[in-house]
Chain A
Amino acid sequence: MITFEGAAKHYPDGTVAVAGLDLTVESGRTTVFVGPSGSGKTTSLRMVNRMVAPTSGTVLVDGEDVRSQDPARLRRSIGYVIQQAGLFPHRTVRDNIATVPLLLGWGRSRARARAAELMESVGLEPSQAKRYPHQLSGGQQQRVGVARALAADPPILLMDEPFSAVDPVVRTGLQDELLRLQAELRKTVLFVTHDIDEAIRIGDRIAVFGPGGELAQYDTPERLLTHPVDDFVESFIGYDRGVRRLAFFPANELALREDVLLDDQDTVERALNTVDTAGQPWALVVDAQRMPLGWVDVDRLRHEPSGLELGRLTLTAYGHTFDVERDSLRAALDAAVLSPAGRAVGVDPDGRVLGVVSQADLGNAIWSVS
C-alpha cells in the first residue's frame, strides 16, 4: 500500500507541481493517475521512489516513510517504466533486463536466466536476447522496459506514460499484455497517462489530476464515468462518456436471435420460409461450422431462383463481430452501428455464431442498465 499524506511539491520559481496530495493506493491493484499536461502526475509518481522529494507532507510505502530508506535500496525494490523505455543503448536486451538483479548481486548466470524467463512473459522472442535496443521496434523496446522493471520481482511498479510513444494498434496490444501480466502477478501498479481511455481500460482506480496539481477525483472507472464530481472532470472524460460507460456491462445478457441464421447449403425457398416466420428484414448465412459468411437481405432473396443454394449468392459483408462471453455492451453496440444490416453478430471465443442482435434490441438492453 502506498499512502500520500499531504504530499506537496513547490518549486523555488513558485510553480506548484503538486498541491497537497492525500491518496491511498491499494496493494495488488492498478491505480492510474490521469490529467492534463503539467498537472503533477509525474512529480507525484516520483515521490514514491524518492526521485522527487516532497516539500511538505510524506509518502509511505506499507506504512513506512520512504525518506527513512536508502534511496538506491528503495529504488531497487520499485520497478520503473518510462515513455521512451530508457533502455541502455550499450547493453543487449538480456543485459538490460538483468540490470537490477545484477545490482542486487544475483550473479550473472542467475540474472540471465531470470531475464530469459521475463522475455518470455512479456512476449519477446529468445532470439532477441542478444540484440541491442536500437535493433528493436518501439513496441518491443517498451516490452524490454517492462521486463526490466519486473526483473527483481518488485512489489511495486511505477509506469510513467509507458505506452504513449507507440502507435494505437501496438498500444492496445501492450495494454492487453499488461492486463494479462497484472492478473497473474498482482503488483501494486501506479500508472500515469493523459489518455482517459487508457486509464479506464487499465485502472482499477483512477485519480484525475486537475490544473495546479490538485486531485480532482479519485474513483473507480465506472463511478468516474457515471458521477464526475465537477465540470473539469466531466469535460476531461469527454462528451461520449455515456457510450464509454457501456464498457462496464457485459454483453452476455443480451437476447440473441437464432431464428435468422441460415445454412449455406439451404435453398432460397427454405430460407424464405425461415425468414418469413422470423419476420426480420435480414438473415445471416453461416457455414457448417457456424462461422459467419455474410448477410442476405430478404427483399433480394425474393428475386432469386428458389432452388439456388445460399452459398452461391453474393452476400453482404458481416463486418465486426462481438464475443458474447468476453465483450461489453459497448463492443456489441459498436458492431451493430457499423454493420450494414444494423445488426451485430455475437460469436463464441472460436468465432462461431451464437446469434444476432438488432440495434433496437440493443437499445432496450442499454435502456435497462442506464
Chain B
Amino acid sequence: MNAVWDWISAVADWAAANWNPPGDQERGVWPRLVEHARLAYLSILIGLAAALPLGLACVRWTRLYPPVLTGVNVLYAVPSIALFFLMLPYTGFSDWTAIVPLALYTLVILLPNVVDGLRQVPDHVRQAAVAMGFGPLRRLLTVETPVAVPVIIAGLRVASVATISMVSVASLVGLGGLGQLILSEGFRRQFDAPIVVGIVLTVVLAFVTDALLVLSQRLLTPWVRRDGRRRKRKQRAAVPAGEAAAVDAGADPTQSAETGNGAHPWMS
C-alpha cells in the first residue's frame, strides 16, 4: 500500500517539477499538453469542415457517395505512422505533418455520420418541406442539416477521442504533444513518471473534449427529447432521430390520445 502511495507521489512530484520549466520549453508538461490540444483540435475542425460540404454533396448527388466512401475507407486502412512519414518530405517538421493525416482520419469517421444524419430525416418531414415550397438546397440547409446535428455530433465524439489518442503517434516524427513525454522522456529513459503523466493527461483531455461536445449538442439541439437516460447508439443508428424520440417517450402518434389538457373547445 505504502509503495503504491510513494509511487503516485513520485509521479506527481515529477509532474510538478517539470510542469513549465522556464527556459526549457521543449520538455515541460504544460507546453506539451497545449501542443497536444492544438494538434488535435485543429485536425478535428479541419476534418469537420471538410466532411460537411462533402457529405452534403454526397446526399445531393447520390451517385457520388459510393466512390467517395470507398476512397476514404481505403485511406483509413493506411497506418497513421506511414502517413506521418509520407508527409515529412512535403511539410517537414511543422504541425501540418501531424494535422493533415489526423484531419483525414476525422473526415473518414465523420463522413458516414454526416451522410446518414442527413438521410435519416423522416420521409414525411422531407415530403412536407417539398410540399411547402422548399427548393432542394434550402431544404438541405434548413431542414436536413439541423435535423442531422445530433448524429454529426455523435460522430464528432468518436472522432475526437480517436484523434486525441492518435496525436501521440506523431511523436515518432518529432511532434505529438503528450506523446513526446511518453516516447522520449519515458520510454527512452526507462522512466515511469512521464509515461503515466502523459497517459493521464491524454485521458483528461479526451474527457474534457467529450464533455464540451455533449454540452454543445445540448445548446445546439434544444429540440431533441432528453429524459435522462442516453439512447443506445445502435438504436440511434437504426431509427430516425425524430421518430426515436417519439418512440422513446411512448409518444407514438398512432397511440396517443389527447387527454388531460382540456384545450378542446368542442368537447366542452
**A interface, CB within 8 angstroms of B:** 49, 51, 71-76, 78, 80, 82-92, 99-100, 103, 123-125, 132-135, 137-141, 145, 148, 158, 165-167, 169-170, 173, 176-177, 180
Contact = CB atoms under 8 A, between A and B. Distances in A.
Contacts of B90: none
A141 B253 CA distance: 8
A82 B124 contact: yes
A137 B242 contact: no
B254 A138 contact: yes
Interface residues of B, number: 40
Contacts of A167: 255-257
B258 A134 contact: no
Contact of A170 (B132, B221, B258): B258
A139 B254 contact: no
Contacts of B149: 90
Interface string B233-268: 000000001100110010111111111010111110
A90 B132 contact: no
A134 B246 contact: yes
Given A134-B246, A173-B258, 10 more contacts: A51-B127, A72-B133, A82-B124, A82-B131, A100-B132, A123-B264, A133-B242, A138-B253, A139-B258, A158-B131
B254 A165 contact: yes
Interface string B135-159: 1000000010011010000000000
B225 interface: yes
B28 to A, nearest CB: 45
Contacts of A51: 127, 130-131
A85 B123 CA distance: 11
B257 A86 contact: no
Contacts of B255: 138, 167
A137 B251 contact: yes
8 contacts: A49-B131, A74-B133, A75-B132, A85-B124, A88-B129, A100-B132, A123-B264, A167-B256
Contacts of A133: 223, 242
B31 interface: no
Contact of A176 (B128, B223, B266): B266
Contacts of A80: 128, 131-132
Nearest to B148: A90
A83 B124 CA distance: 8
B125 interface: yes
A141 B127 CA distance: 16
A88 B143 contact: yes
Nearest to B251: A134
Nearest to A96: B128
A323 to B, nearest CB: 14
Given A139-B256, A169-B257, A134 B127 contact: no
Contacts of B245: 89, 134
Contact of B125 (A71, A89, A138): A89
B52 to A, nearest CB: 17
A132 B241 CA distance: 14
A158 to B, nearest CB: 8
Q: In the complex, which of the residues B124, B146, B258 has the most CB atoms of chain A within 10 Å of its own CB atom?
A: B258
A90 B147 contact: yes
A11 to B, nearest CB: 18
B134 interface: yes
Name the residue in B124, B132, B257 with the highest tally of chain A Cβ atoms < 10 Å from its Cβ.
Answer: B132
B122 interface: yes
A134 B246 CA distance: 6
Contact of B122 (A84, A124, A139): A84
B132 A99 contact: yes
Contact of A89 (B127, B147, B259): B147
B242 to A, nearest CB: 4
B147 A134 contact: no
A218 to B, nearest CB: 25
Given A85-B253, A173-B258, A75 B133 contact: yes
Interface string B113-129: 00000000010110111
Nearest to A89: B242
Contact of A86 (B128, B222, B261): B128
A99 B255 CA distance: 27
A360 B135 CA distance: 63
A134 B225 contact: yes
Nearest to A151: B132
Given A85-B253, A86-B128, A169-B257, A91 B223 contact: yes
